[in-house]
């Protein structure tokens, strides 16, 4: 394989798809030019089918639009879109106690609040990325303040109502891993000791609690000391989620100048999770597995969602960058071949989100409260930069 050529073709493809398809689709169909912010519930053709606004996606698109501006091209429309989402968040998305909502109406009227802090995490990375894009340092400070608020919420017993009663004490992979990415995105805009401390704590928790070598797996829910919980939820493996964690860690390892222990841990997670997740029969990364191979109870267990595939594309590029092992480029090709054969909608643009196990489209909407302009454009932006960085490495090594 001519590696440089392979990566250049992909870099061009990522940039083309992002600038000619994905961002135009959401700017034309999703951006709310009346109230600000973004709609995500769009049908196959991009028509609004529900004006409920996801607070996660105000932050996620606020981040992605600024990230594209910072990493790909200085398109003022993208910067404005980012600012629109952030303004909408600041005007409408937090309750009096500072805790953010989960869903609001088109005009920002609060509709639903949940027990998590993911709305805050996405809002924070929107603000820090916008600070980098605009040069307005106040948004970096806001992001940092919000990060400290997240930590305060998490540390205040009872502030976030626990899902389970006290007899079921558990740690979740989701909040542990998202804080790595949240802190590292904010750190790119503003430095503060709480950020590295949080990253260290999360990395330590993943290593000590969530990695279970007896199953060659990273589990989603474990006991307070990492104990294996032998229930349907405790046995759950979410391969795409683990692969996302793997590249968060590879990104951090690179930030630390190629930290070998972190790199090894991340590659271990990637290799194991790929083993669990890659569907030998139909291809693609499957939604869920059970670490004891018992039947998984989530209804979507054998489906192929868009985002695990995008995480695998990023993770295999990071793994190749870290190792120069062509095995990871082969995996990148394998996941890309399957993903690009099944997800993009050649007729109406953007990608389908929800496929059956065999790759047929389960339902053709382009977005809802959980799918919108985040994983796909983030993959394209991140992978575009990775391809270019790796090509530069190769050029300088020669």
In the complex, the residues that contact a copy of itself under the rule CB under 8 A are 41, 43-44, 49-52, 101, 105, 109-113, 163-165, 167-168, 230-232, 294-297, 299-303, 354, 356, 362-365, 368-369
Residue 35 CB, shortest distance to a copy of itself, in Å, is: 15
CB nearer to a copy of itself: pick between 297 and 323: 297
Residue 345 CB, shortest distance to a copy of itself, in Å, is: 12
Which residues does 159 contact at the CB level (< 8 Å), separation at least 6?
Answer: 99, 153
Cα 388 from Cα 4, distance rounded (Å): 9
CB nearer to a copy of itself: pick between 155 and 165: 165
Residue 31 CB, shortest distance to a copy of itself, in Å, is: 20
| Contact assessment for residue 16 and residue 386, using Cβ atoms and an 8 Å cutoff | no
CB nearer to a copy of itself: pick between 6 and 228: 228
Residue 348 has phi, psi (to 5 degrees) of -115, 5
Residue 273 CB, shortest distance to a copy of itself, in Å, is: 20
Residue 2 CB, shortest distance to a copy of itself, in Å, is: 41
CB nearer to a copy of itself: pick between 44 and 148: 44
CB nearer to a copy of itself: pick between 72 and 296: 296
Residue 211 CB, shortest distance to a copy of itself, in Å, is: 23
Residue 166 CB, shortest distance to a copy of itself, in Å, is: 9
Residue 346 CB, shortest distance to a copy of itself, in Å, is: 18
Cα 292 from Cα 270, distance rounded (Å): 19
CB nearer to a copy of itself: pick between 332 and 375: 375
CB nearer to a copy of itself: pick between 47 and 137: 47
Structure tokens that stand for 249 in this block: 């860690």
Residue 241, CB-side half-sphere exposure with 13 Å CA sphere: 20
CB nearer to a copy of itself: pick between 318 and 374: 374
CB nearer to a copy of itself: pick between 105 and 341: 105
Residue 361 CB, shortest distance to a copy of itself, in Å, is: 10
Residue carrying structure tokens 């769009």? 42
Cα 262 from Cα 275, distance rounded (Å): 20
Cα 105 from Cα 108, distance rounded (Å): 5
| Contact assessment for residue 106 and residue 91, using Cβ atoms and an 8 Å cutoff | no
- Strand-strand pairing, 211-212 and 217-218: antiparallel
Residue 181 has phi, psi (to 5 degrees) of -70, -40
Strand-pairing partners, residue 354, are: 305, 363
CA distances from 46 to 24, 43, 116, 339, 368 (A): 11, 5, 29, 21, 11
Nearest residue to 245 (alpha-carbon basis) of 192, 319, 191:
319
CB nearer to a copy of itself: pick between 293 and 323: 293
Cα 313 from Cα 10, distance rounded (Å): 11
Residue 114 CB, shortest distance to a copy of itself, in Å, is: 10
Residue 152 CB, shortest distance to a copy of itself, in Å, is: 23
User: By three-state DSSP, how is residue 174 classified?
Assistant: helix
CB nearer to a copy of itself: pick between 5 and 358: 358
Q: Where are the alpha helices (DSSP H) in the chain?
A: 3-17, 23-29, 55-71, 76-92, 118-134, 137-155, 173-187, 193-205, 239-255, 260-277, 306-323, 326-342, 375-397
Cα 104 from Cα 135, distance rounded (Å): 29
């Amino acid at each position: 394989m001519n590696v440089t050529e392979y990566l250049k073709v992909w870099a061009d493809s990522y940039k083309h798809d992002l600038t000619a398809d994905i961002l135009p689709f959401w700017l034309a169909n999703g951006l709310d030019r009346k109230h600000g912010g973004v709609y995500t519930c769009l049908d196959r053709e991009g028509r609004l089918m529900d004006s409920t606004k996801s607070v996660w996606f105000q932050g996620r698109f606020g981040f992605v639009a600024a990230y594209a501006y910072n990493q790909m091209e200085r398109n003022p429309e993208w910067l404005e879109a980012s600012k629109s989402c952030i303004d909408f968040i600041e005007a409408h998305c937090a309750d009096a106690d500072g805790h953010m909502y989960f869903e609001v109406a088109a005009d920002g009227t609060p509709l639903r609040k949940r027990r998590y802090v993911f709305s805050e995490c996405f809002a924070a990375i929107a603000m820090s990325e916008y600070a980098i894009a605009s040069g307005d340092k106040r948004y970096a400070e806001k992001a940092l303040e919000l990060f400290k608020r997240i930590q305060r919420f998490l540390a205040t017993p009872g502030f976030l109502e626990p899902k389970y009663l006290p007899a079921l004490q558990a740690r979740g992979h989701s909040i542990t891993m998202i804080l790595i990415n949240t802190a590292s995105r904010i750190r790119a805009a503003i430095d503060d000791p709480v950020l590295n401390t949080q990253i260290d704590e999360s990395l330590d928790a993943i290593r000590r609690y969530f990695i279970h070598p007896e199953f060659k797996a990273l589990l989603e829910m474990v006991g307070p000391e990492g104990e294996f919980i032998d229930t349907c939820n405790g046995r759950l493996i979410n391969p795409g989620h683990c692969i996302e964690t793997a590249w968060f860690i590879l990104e951090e390892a690179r930030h630390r100048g190629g930290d070998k222990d972190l790199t090894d841990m991340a590659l271990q997670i990637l290799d194991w999770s790929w083993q669990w997740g890659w569907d030998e029969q139909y291809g693609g990364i499957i939604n869920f597995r059970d670490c004891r191979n018992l039947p998984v109870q989530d209804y979507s267990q054998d489906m192929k969602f868009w985002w695990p595939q995008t995480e695998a594309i990023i993770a295999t590029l990071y793994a190749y960058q870290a190792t120069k092992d062509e095995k990871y480029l082969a995996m990148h090709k394998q996941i890309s071949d399957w993903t690009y054969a099944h997800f993009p909608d050649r007729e109406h643009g953007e990608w389908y989100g929800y496929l059956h196990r065999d790759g047929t489209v389960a339902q053709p909407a382009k977005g809802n409260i959980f799918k919108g302009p985040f994983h796909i454009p983030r993959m394209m932006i991140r992978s575009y930069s990775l391809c270019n960085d790796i090509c530069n490495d190769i050029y300088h090594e020669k």
